[in-house]
Structure 1
Amino acid sequence: MKQLHSCHVTPQKGFSLIEVVLAIGIFLVTVLALVGLLGPTLQSVDEVEKTDEVSSIVNTINAFLQNSQDIAPRASKFDAIYTAVSQDSATILVFRAYDTNDVISLKVGFVGETDQLARISDSDVTNGSEVFAAGTVYRAVLTPSSVNPVDERADAGVNSYPRYKMNNATPATYPEGSFAMEVRIFAEEPSLTFDDASVLADLQLKEPIFTYNTAIVR
């Protein structure tokens, strides 16, 4: 007769319910902490991108004012800019736009400039039925700066924009070797109704994305 041998199975110790709950709790706390850090991180990345974009726009404006051969190619660049800015303001538009071959290129120029080479207008942004601008249009408004000598400028008061005007309307009677300008940069989204005209009374109520001073020399 065969004998039956008893087999003893040693029970395996598993995780208790409390241990499982604690592990899940720790995991959820870690996930929530990481999610909380994600918001500020994305905000920081966005701020860095905006700073880089503003820096690029400032460099573009300065390079255009200082080095562009399109500004008054047959006359004095200093005289042309001084005449445009000294008694009121001048506007520069900076943006990227599609050309007829759908290639994106940088556009920069003065609004209302008489010389075609340095002129830019709302027709470069849109033709009324199609928008050519590939992204934000930056409007830079140039006005006389407080950095100019006190005896060479008139102060219209803190509530006026532009606040300063030069006493000498023509560059020929302006005795200094440089002319300082305040540059306020405004960001606008292009549309079919984009208008290149800078209404200073309206812009005075808006917050520029960046303001700085620059100068041109004779």
Structure 2
Amino acid sequence: MSTEFLDPIILSIRIAIIASAIVMVIGTLIGKIMANLKWKGKIFLEILFILPLVLPPSVVGFFLIIIFGVNSPIGQVIQSIFGSPIIFTWWAGVIAAVVVAFPLMYQVTKAGFEMIDNSIEDAARVDGANEWAVFYRISLPLSFQSIVTGFILSFTRALGEFGATLMFAGNIPGKTQTVSTAIYVAIDSGNMELAWDWVISIILISTSLLFIAQFIKIK
């Protein structure tokens, strides 16, 4: 297989793995907090967390540029630390993937934590367990299926991200070109054979992972 074919796939997988790992940690913690939160105004937080799932990818990419661009405070801090802006790097692709994949991880893990019988956690607290022990020894094991499912869904979402990645990370061959942007370029240039190869590869990877997620759900 040629480098032209493999590079976008390898980069997409690398971005998806890193983004999904980040999303798994953040999504699990926030999912647990939101599952137990009794504040009536939490609906506004719910909307905020789910919003990237329904917004057009171009809008997500626009806000990422505003937040992390070279003229933003965060962008300037990043540039001063690392010596270069994060925009139009493959790390920008990771950030874009984290933002679009987070709602899936959050929704699945929150649902998993909400299904836990609160009396089990309360019994552990009565026995002297602190909140971390309750979370680590009871909540996590009981919601493990949801966490793994959320990770797989987040991975497949991150793997196929296009719009936000194109705007924020660009489409630089060998540097920021993911398989989704590569397919777009291949079709635009009339190279349908190469486009088909990438499409089939991504379908096989995503379908395999979704089969695993369904198997875990059945188990």
TM > 0.5 between the two? no
State the structure with bigger RCO (CA 8 A, min sep 6), 1 or 2.
Answer: 2
Q: Which protein is richer in helix relative to its size?
A: 2
Please say which structure displays the higher CA radius of gyration.
1
After TM superposition, the score normalised by the length of structure 2 is 0.31
